[in-house]
Structure 1
Amino acid sequence: MTVNETALPVTVALVSGPSGTGSIDDFELFYARRAVARFRERLGRQGLLDLLAADIEEGNAALRESARTSDGSFTGRTTVLATQGLTSGEFLGWMGKAFSDESVLLAAHPEHYSITDQEDGSVHVVENIGPHIASFYLGSWGAEAMTWAEDAAERLPEAEFPHKQATNLFLADGTIIGRVLIQFGDTADGFTSSLSVYMPTSCPDDVLEHHLRHFAIEFRNWITAAAAARA
């Protein structure tokens, strides 16, 4: 091959074999989810947290430093999902009940390690934020949590997106490492989800990018689970 020739991309197509529907990617996703679920079950929550203790310490330290060097300033970006065949009210009703079942919450993303309610109304979460495994808290949803979001550029009109929830993401020492503003509005055939995440401005761009992907995965899975529960 000469320097002027371009190598053709290598592709692999499934011609025959499995009788079930789906692509090779679909098959791999099924088995990956099954493997992750097995490890979670065998290790248990505390075993998993013990295994990740060093990663959590490192991840929290990196996010704490980003918060310190950003001096309270944040950069936000938004993932938008369009759903057909389900209303926002149906989804949010299901979601409210789902928070009492950790297994449902964990199943939405392979990098969910622990999601548990706390006595003070907050939620303790251990998951990836970008490349970092972090242990943090979501403040209670509600009017007080929405205060900072009143002036957010990503805030959408109440008439079109009446369902709004906002919270800070904070470490055990109170350091705010991020923010979330999620908004839902019904459409003619379903609803739209506007999912905004804010990270300290000194965080690398890929931290935000990966959390936008994280949002897409977990909310798609929660929405399809809500639809399945309704059927």
Structure 2
Amino acid sequence: MSDIQTPPPVAVTLVSGPTGSGSIDDFELFYARRALDRFRVRLGRQGLLDLLAADIEEGNAFLRESAIASGGSFKAGTTVLTTRGLTSGAFLAWMDKAFSGDEKALLTAHPEHYVMTPGPDGAFNVVENIGPHVCSFFMGGWGTDAMAWAVDADELLPESEFPHKMSSNLFLPDGTVVGRALTQFGDTADGFTASLTVYVPTACPQDVLEHHLRHYAVEFRNWIIAAATVRA
């Protein structure tokens, strides 16, 4: 048996100094967001696209190859969030307004949001990370027009409990369907529950799905807080 002992992890505690509330992690998050916003503003949308062009080409190739290898089959994962103090109707009204042209509100919800803007033919262009890959894809047909594939989905929840439903295909500029999204919202006694399902090609590594479930948690939490702030 080895007598070598693993040293305890280093712990740092803030004792005094800053007068504002929050932890060191809170301070770091504030400064990271401020720095990121500066780069987004300075570069602008086209600047970001130019900077990420090679990453997008590689990421889209990964999604396309995964979709082809999967033969049109997808695997699903769902993130569930609960909210107090805000109704689903108030949140979705804020979302409708944001997706109608408030790109800044959409971008600031996640560090790996690069472009979120209306595209041609009513589709919505998103440039963000899918797992470790930076990808540019479109979301089309939010609302009942795109629910045909979702009516038989295992993740579909009862209409009586989750009356607000939105679904979409996620597709590349060449039309290749590389994913799907199904979001469902239902009010509770003191707020609402959001059930957020993403579908990725079955050939994708499991960590791609796992990271998008985390992505959902971050972006929707921040969108909900933004909606509540405006309402207040």
TM-score range, shorter chain: over 0.9
**Secondary structure in structure 2 of the residue aligned to 1:120:** helix
Query: Structure 1 length normalisation: TM-score?
Result: 0.97
Q: Deviations over 1:84-114 (max 9, x none)?
A: 0000000001111111110110000010000
Aligned to 2:137: 136
1:4 deviates by: 5.9
Greater Cα shift, 127-136 or 6-15: 6-15
Aligned to 1:92: 92
In 2, Cα distance between equivalents of 1:45 and 1:21 = 34
Among all aligned residue pairs of Structure 1 and Structure 2, give the percentage whose two residues are the same amino acid: 71
**Secondary structure in structure 1 of the residue aligned to 2:105:** helix
1:210 deviates by: 0.5
Residue 48 of structure 2 is aligned to residue 48 of structure 1 = yes
1:11 deviates by: 1.6
Aligned to 2:187: 186
Aligned to 1:123: 124
In 1, Cα distance between equivalents of 2:30 and 2:112 = 15
In 1, Cα distance between equivalents of 2:131 and 2:3 = 38
1:143 deviates by: 2.0
In 1, Cα distance between equivalents of 2:104 and 2:45 = 11
Aligned residue type for 2:180: R
**Secondary structure in structure 2 of the residue aligned to 1:141:** coil
Which structure 2 residues correspond to residues 61-80 of structure 1 after superposition, within 5 A? 61-80=61-80
1:119 deviates by: 4.1
In 2, Cα distance between equivalents of 1:207 and 1:182 = 19
Which structure 2 residues correspond to residues 198-217 of structure 1 after superposition, within 5 A? 198-217=199-218
Aligned residue type for 1:40: R
CA RMSD in angstroms comes to: 1.0
1:120 deviates by: 1.4
Greater Cα shift, 4-13 or 198-207: 4-13
Which structure 2 residues correspond to residues 171-182 of structure 1 after superposition, within 5 A? 171-182=172-183
**Secondary structure in structure 1 of the residue aligned to 2:215:** helix
Aligned residue type for 1:176: V
> Which consecutive unaligned segments of at least 5 residues does structure 1 have?
none
Aligned residue type for 1:28: E
**Secondary structure in structure 2 of the residue aligned to 1:147:** coil
1:13 deviates by: 1.3
Q: Deviations over 1:23-69 (max 9, x none)?
A: 11100100000011000000010011000000000000011000000
In 2, Cα distance between equivalents of 1:13 and 1:58 = 42
Aligned residue type for 1:134: C
In 1, Cα distance between equivalents of 2:90 and 2:151 = 26
In 2, Cα distance between equivalents of 1:89 and 1:185 = 9
Residue 107 of structure 2 is aligned to residue 111 of structure 1 = no
1:15 deviates by: 1.1
Aligned to 2:158: 157
Which structure 2 residues correspond to residues 24-43 of structure 1 after superposition, within 5 A? 24-43=24-43
In 2, Cα distance between equivalents of 1:86 and 1:142 = 22
Q: Which runs of 4+ in 1 moved over 6 A?
A: none
Query: Structure 2 length normalisation: TM-score?
Result: 0.97
Aligned residue type for 2:54: A
Aligned to 2:219: 218
